[in-house]
Amino acid sequence: MDNKFEIFFSQIDTFLNTLEKAYNAVNVGSNDIIQLNHELYSGIIGENYEHSFVNPVFAEYMLGCGYGKLCSFVAYESFSLIGYRFDKKRTLTEPFLQMYQDIKEMYTTGSLSYNTFYDRIYEYLYSTADALYEDRIKEMLFPHANVAKQIITGDGLGDVYYLYRYGEYITETEIKTARHINLLSKEKLRLMADTFAEGYRRGFETTGKPFDKKRTVGIIYKLGFERLVNAEIEAFERLGLTATVFRTPRSAVISQGGRKNGFFGAVANHQAEYDHKNDALFFFDEKLVSKRLEALEKAYEKYAEYADVYGGPAVMEVFGEAPFGFKESGCGLVPGESQKKLSLKYLTESAAITNRFIKGEERSFTIIAYPTPDIGKDFKDIFNETIELNTLDNDLYISIQQRIIDVLNEASFVDIKGTGENQTDISVELFHVNDPEKEENFENCVADVNIPVGEVFTSPVLSGTNGILHVSRAFLNGFEYKDLRVEIRNGFTKDYSCSNFADSQKGKDYFRKNVLFEHEKLPVGEFAIGTNTTAYAMAKEYDIQNVLPILIAEKCGPHFALGDTCYSRSEDIRVFNPGGKEIVAKDNEVSIKRKDDPGAAYFNCHTDITIPYEEIGRLTAVKEDGTKTDIIKSGRFVLPGTEMLNIPLDD
């Protein structure tokens, strides 16, 4: 075992030396930075992962289950140093290096045991929480010129060499993206940027939130889009907002399970991210969770004046990369049931803390998506069509979608049945509209918080929502599901299956882990009818259904969201449709519990499952007296006034 520990230390030392070389190369403008960037991540790229201590399978093979798990944690955590080093911060680098040296010393003196190893990692996670949470909240809220903003607003974007200044992993995808963005005209960039900023502003207007009070907005993006981000910063400035940009956090100290909540580069190894997404949870106990919550609250208190004027995030998603086939190794840090419960507690209470300082009734967001060259040979055409998709005529869609809402306002429930091999057969109970002259139960969704335009949605009544939801193929939260079947009883998931695995139990575990997020069951938080047939036609034409982001995929047919409602934590904010009527279906039987027990009202997740038009046999609004009105039949819109939506489908 001694020799194998030496191999572990050798791998970490090599990485740390390469990190210092890469950082110095950026500072002096050396061309070696390109080679050093790949050397920095080479230990986990491709086949090298098989012999890396970051790989829990290899680590446990070398050092056994106990030591192997902990060594794999340290090896993966070391990669979180990259961002802090390139951002010239000591908040994480010094504590990590001290922990690593202590482990080395314990090994040298013979005092290293599983317990002393575990305790030293725990101490690291606990003692660094205050500094890392403060650093994180400051980056998000305080509008200062950090390294990333200097890159974006500088004059060096014409040379894609700038990409290496972040320290993030850079591939041909980021380089080709930057080159493509650099070829776009200033006029097109301004159109794209104004669409983004205007959607953000409109999100406040639609919900009656105080936009004039806001002073900052956080832009989230993937590397390669800097010239567009620069145009967006200018677009937001025209609206009176200063943009903040911040890096996606990777350290387990403040980890959010692999979510991209900040700017990010290429993923060096998807399997590594998957293998380590629950690392922090393994160490969770009441003391550590309380410390994280306390550190988060203290950070918000310190920057409370900036939190008060922060409007929320403006997110640029990307799509094009084929879904990755993750492997369940059975190795690594697997949290127990108590840790999972503590994780849910942390998510619920941290969301409540954030909501207290960045008030839900005063914040908004917007999301837009663009393809990357990963999408294939038609990248440029798809990119141009996506720009057109994101700038569709709002007013036209408002009028078409209003015709659908008018019918749904009078309905007691909606019946959806599949066609062909699709086994969908579900009835959705709708909120009763008491005053049709002033109220509506579906939101007329235009291009504001959710770009592109194209859906009407509601929070369904759980009691009475029953049946089978079935999709031949779905891509949810980055994972593919084949022949997905979900049974709903009184608005909650009762049973579920998919054909990804020969062993049906593995399919259940896969769905529970990545869609239910370890909850025993989830409610149907949203029922919607997507109307963006232009997006659907584009996906069919280029055969890219499997890589569409949920932002676009949800607009390509009726869909159901499992988890919280669309109005989560802002149910009491009055929301009006473009016609002036108030949306009254914002709560369900779970979210209403917030009035007495906020911890029981939210699940902190929301996953859309879309049924493609071609798999819909009939979608029918049914009145209390039994009168039926078809909205979709045999995959086509048949409600009078909606026929124009079929043009892209027919073409």
Q: Which helix (H) or strand (E) holds 444?
A: strand 443-445
CA distance 612 to 130: 47
Comparing C-alpha atoms, which of 533, 519, 558, 492 is closest to residue 649? 533
The pLDDT of 184-199, averaged and rounded, is 96
| Residue 198: band (very low, low, confident or very high) from pLDDT cuts 50, 70, 90 | very high
Residues 457 and 435 grouped into a single domain: yes
Q: Which of 371, 391, 411 is the last residue of a domain?
A: 391
**Across 145-154, 236-245, 367-376, least confident range:** 145-154
Q: Looking at the predicted structure, is the pLDDT value of residue 172 above 70?
A: yes
Q: Which of 391, 412, 435 is the last residue of a domain?
A: 391
Residues 383 and 479 grouped into a single domain: no
- pLDDT score at 59: 96
Comparing C-alpha atoms, which of 310, 201, 208 is closest to residue 573? 208
Residues 628 and 590 grouped into a single domain: yes
Residues 417 and 300 grouped into a single domain: no
Residues 307 and 433 grouped into a single domain: no
Residues 85 and 148 grouped into a single domain: yes
**Bridge pairing between strands 636-637 and 582-583:** unpaired
Residues 422 and 316 grouped into a single domain: no
Q: pLDDT, tens digit, for every residue of 449-501?
A: 889 999 999 999 999 999 999 999 988 887 889 999 999 999 999 999 999 99
Residues 361 and 476 grouped into a single domain: no
CA distance 621 to 410: 8
Residues 322 and 195 grouped into a single domain: yes
**Bridge pairing between strands 492-497 and 479-489:** antiparallel
- Is residue 230 within 8 Å of 203, Cβ to Cβ? no
Q: Share the mean pLDDT of the chain.
A: 93
- pLDDT score at 618: 98
Q: How many alpha carbons fall within 13 Å on the CB side of residue 566? A: 27
- Is residue 487 within 8 Å of 494, Cβ to Cβ? yes
CA distance 230 to 631: 43
Taking each helix axis from N to C terminus, what angle separates 186-207 and 379-390, rounded to the nearest 10 degrees?
40
Domain range holding 188? 1-391
- pLDDT score at 256: 65
Q: What percent of the chain has pLDDT over 90?
A: 79
Q: Looking at the predicted structure, is the pLDDT value of residue 651 above 80?
A: no
- pLDDT score at 296: 98
Q: pLDDT, tens digit, for every residue of 271-314?
A: 999 899 889 999 999 999 999 999 999 999 999 999 999 999 99
Comparing C-alpha atoms, which of 523, 521, 515, 475 is closest to residue 607? 515
The pLDDT of 578-606, averaged and rounded, is 90
- pLDDT score at 3: 82
Q: Looking at the predicted structure, is the pLDDT value of residue 132 above 80?
A: yes
Burial profile 474-504: b = 16 or more Cβ within 10 angstroms, e = fewer: bbbeebbbebbbbbbeebbbeebbbebeeee
CA distance 282 to 142: 32
Comparing C-alpha atoms, which of 466, 557, 476 is closest to residue 511? 476
| Residue 43: band (very low, low, confident or very high) from pLDDT cuts 50, 70, 90 | very high
Residues 170 and 96 grouped into a single domain: yes
Q: Which helix (H) or strand (E) holds 629?
A: strand 628-633
Q: pLDDT, tens digit, for every residue of 411-430?
A: 999 999 999 999 999 999 99
Q: Which residue has the higher pLDDT, 274 or 120?
A: 120
Residues 409 and 308 grouped into a single domain: no
The domain tally of the chain equals 2
Q: pLDDT, tens digit, for every residue of 507-516?
A: 999 999 889 9
Q: Looking at the predicted structure, is the pLDDT value of residue 399 above 80?
A: yes
Amino acid at residue number 446:
V
| Residue 448: band (very low, low, confident or very high) from pLDDT cuts 50, 70, 90 | confident
- Is residue 426 within 8 Å of 342, Cβ to Cβ? no
Beta strands (DSSP E) in 498-563 are 524-530, 558-563
Q: Which of 375, 391, 407 is the last residue of a domain?
A: 391
| Residue 258: band (very low, low, confident or very high) from pLDDT cuts 50, 70, 90 | low
Q: Which of 572-576, 577-581, 595-599 is modeled with the greatest confidence?
A: 577-581
- pLDDT score at 520: 92
Comparing C-alpha atoms, which of 69, 45, 5 is closest to residue 330? 69
Amino acid at residue number 584:
V
The pLDDT of 641-649, averaged and rounded, is 95
Coil, helix or strand for 62?
Answer: helix
CA distance 7 to 17: 15
- pLDDT score at 207: 78
Residues 362 and 475 grouped into a single domain: no
| Residue 351: band (very low, low, confident or very high) from pLDDT cuts 50, 70, 90 | confident
Strands across the sheet with 366-371, in order?
A: 242-245, 216-220, 310-319, 366-371
Q: How many alpha carbons fall within 13 Å on the CB side of residue 164? A: 26
Q: Which residue has the higher pLDDT, 207 or 188?
A: 188
| Residue 2: band (very low, low, confident or very high) from pLDDT cuts 50, 70, 90 | low
